Amino acid sequence: MSSPRAKARKRQTGVVLAAVLVCIVVILMLGTVLTRSVTIWHRHVRVTDQRQQAFWIAESAAQRAIHALQQSREYQGETWKISSESLGGSAAGVAVIQVDRVTKPRAGWQVHVEARFPDAPQHRAMCRRNLFVESK
């Protein structure tokens, strides 16, 4: 038969073991939450960067269209592919430029730009710009 001291020691060992297990579970839960937070933050930063890059591609495409119209009144638009090297090596982008001649209310061109970055079917950002270029 075991002595009361041995029983107390077994209980004490059991309590310590339970406390250690609870600590391990808490640490694992905190690690999981932290990992998830970092993953969500990383995704947010990536999406923000892609939106920013799409915006600047759209702005550049609009300027490209204005310049092309100054060179030739027959410019109707284009699909402008920008290489990853031109964009700093991360990924390629694309801008679709469409130019329509209008006469009302004023004579000029309506320019529609749709920029996508990266130029991939999934996980891309898009920015649209519309502007009017008056003929002189």
pLDDT one-digit tens code per residue, 12-54: 778 888 999 999 999 999 999 999 999 999 999 999 999 999 9
Q: Which residues pair with 53 in a beta bridge?
A: none
pLDDT at 1 over 60: no
Average pLDDT of 52-72?
A: 95
- Greatest extent of the chain over all pairs of C-alpha atoms, in Å: 108
- The number of distinct structural domains making up the chain is 1
Q: Where in the sequence is the domain holding 39, given as residue range(s)?
A: 4-134
- What are the structure tokens assigned to 120, written together? 């991939």
Question: How much of the chain, in percent, has pLDDT values that exceed 70?
Answer: 96
pTM: 0.76
> What pLDDT score was predicted for residue 23?
96
